[in-house]
């Protein structure tokens, strides 16, 4: 992002790289947004049948907020159950994110009127639709990432879509050498791609990892799972830490709930469940958590197994095709992840020796499964990784030691994910900035909340900076 008073200086620079996720974006940055009042007037002029189009699909932009936190807030204002919001995928908290959301039985006018009451959140582009969204129902994501104060000798590219590499206070000869290193790294990144691992968004970064909770749920250890969710975490904000201490040290459910931040959805649901159902009904308390959030824990364990299998596959076979590998017959399908109803799953082909000799497939076609009831495992030793790791954790890939379908691998269809991913629409650029706190990228939220004059100034600053460094563009 670029600040309103941005003026490039000659002593500080950064590299900006852009690319989109796999496939075409359904909702792109830069589209014209109508004002709330215009949308509301359009609702009145062109009413649509809520019987034929009962869902309202809309764009949601948020800054530094969890998806479920926003849904909880919207649900409270609209006086509806937050579980009614449907999405194709969860977005990171740390960043400015834009995504499509659907909700049943809410009018455009009512939804868009919330903007005046929201901070760090913006709703728009609302249209009535016949269907909700389902997890996995997306082609990909576009990322804009800024890296600052990075030396070319140590920084590495992994799985980002847009990168901005900063070189603050570097002498010209150091800068030119750094640029050569950056160019080489970016060329390799674009041409060779990266192992398509699931990242910290799926697992968390604290002392309690999301997949650990998933393991406890899959094993039917309800109290252990609930206590993991409630356990104190390192580095949390003080109000979160105080809530956890209130319960962990004093077992004071009523007192903890009084100070529990609204954003702690899962924790509040568990304590309310224990309060209402009794301390022995841990399963009932867990079931109070919204469905999407409950499934997140099991999905995290599926992703954990996928990462283990991917590491083994790449270590043993590299980026060569191996007999027994799986490929999706329709290449475009390899861009799909899993859904809860399995509608996006496609038939896979098992690679043979003839396929290898005829160069029928490349590593870009190879997929690994996310465990579930509708998938096939590779017909080589990679399949053993899933069984071995699950056995080490005491998790059953088929069946379950309990009768709760929500927490069973068999209850999910699973999915397929490509091993190697190459960035699409990959771009980078080098700009200057003055202070580490300077805004170097104009976000959707900036464009919607700034005045027209300020927004135009932000655009102009960005364009000026790009032109100034056009000679460094690859």
Question: What is the set of active-site residues?
Answer: 92
E strands in 318-402? 326-328, 348-350, 366-370
Residues 6+ apart with CB under 8 A from 32: none
3-class SS at 474?
coil
Tokens of 15: 């590299």
CB neighbours (10 Å) of residue 219?
18
- CA–CA dist 213, 304 (Å, integer): 12
Angle at the Cα of 412 (from 409 to 415), degrees rounded to 5?
A: 105
Cα dist from 121 to 33, 91, 320, 344, whole Å: 15, 13, 45, 31
- CA–CA dist 54, 302 (Å, integer): 33
Inter-axis angle of helices 222-230 and 210-218, nearest 10: 160
149 exposure class (CB count in 10 Å sphere: 0-12, 13-18, 19+): middle
Are 365 and 326 in contact by the 8 Å Cβ rule? The answer is no
- CA–CA dist 25, 33 (Å, integer): 17
- CA–CA dist 211, 295 (Å, integer): 11
Residues 6+ apart with CB under 8 A from 461: 2, 3, 4, 6, 7
- CA–CA dist 192, 422 (Å, integer): 7
């Amino acid at each position: 992002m670029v600040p309103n008073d941005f003026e490039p200086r000659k002593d500080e620079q950064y590299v900006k790289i852009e690319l989109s996720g796999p496939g075409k974006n359904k909702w792109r940055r830069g589209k014209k947004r109508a004002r709330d009042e215009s949308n509301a007037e359009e609702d009145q002029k062109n009413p649509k049948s809520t019987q034929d189009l009962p869902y309202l699909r809309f764009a949601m932009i948020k800054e530094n907020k969890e998806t479920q936190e926003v849904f909880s807030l919207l649900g409270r204002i609209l006086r509806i159950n937050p579980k009614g919001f449907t999405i194709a995928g969860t977005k990171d908290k740390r960043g400015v994110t834009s995504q499509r959301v659907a909700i049943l039985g809410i009018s455009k006018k009512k939804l868009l009127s919330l903007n005046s009451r929201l901070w760090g959140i913006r709703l728009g582009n609302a249209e009535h639709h016949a269907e909700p969204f389902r997890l996995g129902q997306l082609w990909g994501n576009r990322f804009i990432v800024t890296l600052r104060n990075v030396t070319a000798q140590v920084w590495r590219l992994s799985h980002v879509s847009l990168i901005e590499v900063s070189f603050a206070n570097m002498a010209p000869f150091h800068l030119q050498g750094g640029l050569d290193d950056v160019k080489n790294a970016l060329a390799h990144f674009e041409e060779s791609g990266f192992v398509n691992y699931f990242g910290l968004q799926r697992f968390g970064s604290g002392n309690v990892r999301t997949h650990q909770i998933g393991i406890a749920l899959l094993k039917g250890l309800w109290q252990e799972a609930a206590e993991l969710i409630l356990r104190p975490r390192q580095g949390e904000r003080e109000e979160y830490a105080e809530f956890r201490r209130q319960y962990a040290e004093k077992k004071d459910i009523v007192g903890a709930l009084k100070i529990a931040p609204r954003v702690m959805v899962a924790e509040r649901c568990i304590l309310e469940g224990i309060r209402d159902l009794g301390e022995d009904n841990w399963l009932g308390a867990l079931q109070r958590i919204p469905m999407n959030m409950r499934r997140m824990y099991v999905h995290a364990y599926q992703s954990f197994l996928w990462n283990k299998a991917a590491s083994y596959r790449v270590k043993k076979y590299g980026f060569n095709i191996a007999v027994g590998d799986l490929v999706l017959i329709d290449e475009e399908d390899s861009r799909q992840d899993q859904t809860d109803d399995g509608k996006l799953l496609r038939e896979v082909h098992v690679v043979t020796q003839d396929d290898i000799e005829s160069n029928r497939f490349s590593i870009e076609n190879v997929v690994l499964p996310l465990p579930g009831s509708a998938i096939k495992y590779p017909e080589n030793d990679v399949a053993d990784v899933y069984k071995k790791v699950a056995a080490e954790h005491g998790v059953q890939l088929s069946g379950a030691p309990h009768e709760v379908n929500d927490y069973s691998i068999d209850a999910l269809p699973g999915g397929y994910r490509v091993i190697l991913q190459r960035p699409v629409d990959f771009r980078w650029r080098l700009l200057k900035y003055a202070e580490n706190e300077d805004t170097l990228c104009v976000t959707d939220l900036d464009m919607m909340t700034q005045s027209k004059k300020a927004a135009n100034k932000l655009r102009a600053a960005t364009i000026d900076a790009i032109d100034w460094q056009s000679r460094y563009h690859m």
